[in-house]
Amino acid sequence: MSVYLDHAATTPVRPEILQSYLEQLQVIGNPSSVHGAGQKARRSLEDARDKLALAVGCHRSEVLFTSGGTESDNLAIRGLFLSRTLSNPDCNIIITAGTEHHAGLDQVEHLDANENAEAIWAELDHRGVINLEWLEKFLNENASRVALISIMWVNNETGLIHPMKEISALAAQHGIPVHTDAVAAFGHVPLSFKDSGVTTMALSGHKLGAPVGIGALIVARDAKMAVTSHGGGQERGLRSGTLSAPLATIFADAAELAVAELDEFTARLESFKNKIVAAIQETAPDAIFSRGDAPGFVGIVHFTFPGCNGDSLLFLLDSAGIAVSTGSACRAGVTEASHVLMAMGRTQEQARGSLRISLGYSTTVDDVDAFIQAFPAAYQGALKAGLPSK
């Protein structure tokens, strides 16, 4: 038995578009070339740009193709920061949250440590929700020094949905750009770039059924960004490099399908989520649903288990053929307590006792039932193993 419940890490390529991708790979041509083969590739690329723009709710010129979410986050955060601070060195504050994905978090910390940025950590409650009253007060008092705000739309560990429209509205009162990492949001929750009011938005293909290696950065037409990627000047001069027309095409196809199926997808996954939550709470009554009653993406179920180590739960479930995640960072082979939970005020012990079950388009009732059947034994085994010594 093999059950995959780690879709927040990556999701399988959609079979409906796999054949199209294989056919696209047979087409030879660099989209930047002027000959017929190159222009054929260019047409495929631009068709994909049109389709993705429609899916995300933006103008086609605002779609910049990238290699994925990490590159998109880095281009946006660094580009917006440098554009603001080079003309005014005192405008160097980046407001972000300690719960951000490392793709954005590490870029902010790098700028703070090396390029005169000052990272300000937004006030969060125990659910991880940003305090809008704190943000409004901080902006009223410090707006002239704030270079940008960077907040992810949906948290990849807990599934929490941040109020991006409200955040953008507060920032707009002071002319401050907003970047959002929407990798965990796009194709999973209702989303419109135009309606959100954000300046830039990071997307990734492999979280919604395209292959790894393709993503996009949506950049508002009036955005001011410094160029941080130099070369051939592709993608409005902001992201140089040869683009893969086949990858762009399958990304756009996957996005189109995900958006078209969103209502049915949400209803189906909500029923699965409710079954999983009920089963976990029956087996482990003291388990804590991490985002509480805050709005969230129904495809991410994240709990902390007092007295348990998340890695023990993960390995015991894995041995039963169930692939899940702790959501914790693993660097150079060293597992760390979840920085997301720590930023939400959890203790290190609590942050080590988490488990993330994430669902996707291919999740079935049988997958959910298999998890529910395997969980009690895994939980009892993890309880018996206890917490690791410090």
Query: Considering the domain boundaries, does residue 56 fall inside one?
Result: yes
Task: Enumerate long-range contacts of 53-57, CB under 8 Å, 24 or more apart.
Answer: 54/256, 55/187, 55/252, 55/255, 55/256, 55/258, 55/259, 56/186, 56/191, 56/192, 56/193, 56/201, 56/203, 56/216, 56/218, 56/255, 57/191, 57/192, 57/193, 57/194, 57/195
157 and 147 in a common domain: yes
Mind telling me the catalytic residues? Answer: 330
Distances (CA, A) of 337 to 311, 351, 358: 10, 5, 19
Q: The domain spanning residue 284 has which CATH number?
A: 3.90.1150.10
pLDDT of amino acid 215: 98
The 10 Å CB-count burial string (b at 16+, else e) for 186-205 is: bbbbebebeebbbbbbbbbb
DSSP class of residue 318?
A: H
d(CA 148, CA 198): 11
247 and 109 in a common domain: yes
Residue 344 contacts by C-beta under 8 Å, 6 or more apart in sequence? 99, 124, 126, 127, 128, 158, 290
Task: Pull the structure tokens for residue 300.
Answer: 């991410």
203 and 340 in a common domain: no
pLDDT of amino acid 1: 62
d(CA 41, CA 33): 9
149 and 103 in a common domain: yes
Helix, strand, or coil here: 289?
A: strand
Distances (CA, A) of 32 to 9, 60, 61, 107, 246: 32, 18, 17, 30, 14
277 and 167 in a common domain: no
Name which of 136, 147, 83 is nearest 112 in CA terms.
Answer: 147
221 and 255 in a common domain: yes
153 and 113 in a common domain: yes
Q: The domain spanning residue 139 has which CATH number?
A: 3.40.640.10
Domain boundary among 209, 227, 260: 260
Name which of 213, 66, 81 is nearest 150 in CA terms.
Answer: 81
Domain boundary among 260, 293, 309: 260
> Which pLDDT tens digits describe the chain residue by residue (390 residues)?
699 999 999 999 999 998 888 888 888 889 999 999 889 989 999 999 999 999 999 999 999 999 999 999 999 999 999 999 998 999 999 999 999 999 999 999 999 999 999 999 999 999 999 999 999 999 999 999 999 999 999 999 999 999 999 999 999 999 999 999 999 999 999 999 999 999 999 999 999 999 999 999 999 999 999 999 899 989 898 898 999 999 999 999 999 999 999 999 999 999 999 999 999 999 999 999 999 999 999 999 999 999 999 999 999 999 999 999 997 545 545 567 899 999 999 999 889 999 999 999 999 999 999 999 999 999 999 999 876 655
Sheet containing 178-181: which strands, arranged edge to edge?
A: 63-66, 215-219, 200-204, 178-181, 146-150, 93-96, 118-121
pLDDT of amino acid 386: 76
Query: Considering the domain boundaries, does residue 390 fall inside one?
Result: no
Query: Considering the domain boundaries, does residue 185 fall inside one?
Result: yes
The residue whose two tokens read 């804590």 is 288
d(CA 114, CA 117): 8
Q: Which helix (H) or strand (E) covers residue 280, if one does?
A: helix 262-283
Phi-psi group of 159: left, alpha or beta (phi > 0 → left; psi -120 to 50 → alpha; rest → beta): left
Query: Considering the domain boundaries, does residue 133 fall inside one?
Result: yes
d(CA 211, CA 205): 6
Domain around 276: 3-11+262-385
Are the C-beta atoms of 312 and 325 separated by less than 8 Å? no
d(CA 339, CA 329): 8
Domain boundary among 260, 287, 320: 260
In whole angstroms, how large is the CA radius of gyration of the chain? 21
pLDDT by residue (tens digit) across 43-60? 999 999 999 999 999 999
pLDDT of amino acid 332: 41
Task: Pull the structure tokens for residue 143.
Answer: 């707006």
Query: Considering the domain boundaries, does residue 92 fall inside one?
Result: yes
111 and 249 in a common domain: yes
278 and 246 in a common domain: no
283 and 173 in a common domain: no
d(CA 230, CA 238): 8
- By residue count, the chain amounts to 390
Give the amino acid at 17: I
182 and 35 in a common domain: yes
User: Number of folded domains in the chain?
Assistant: 2
Task: Enumerate long-range contacts of 33-41, CB under 8 Å, 24 or more apart.
Answer: 41/245
Tell me the CB-side half-sphere exposure of residue 221, using CA atoms within 13 A: 6
41 and 24 in a common domain: yes
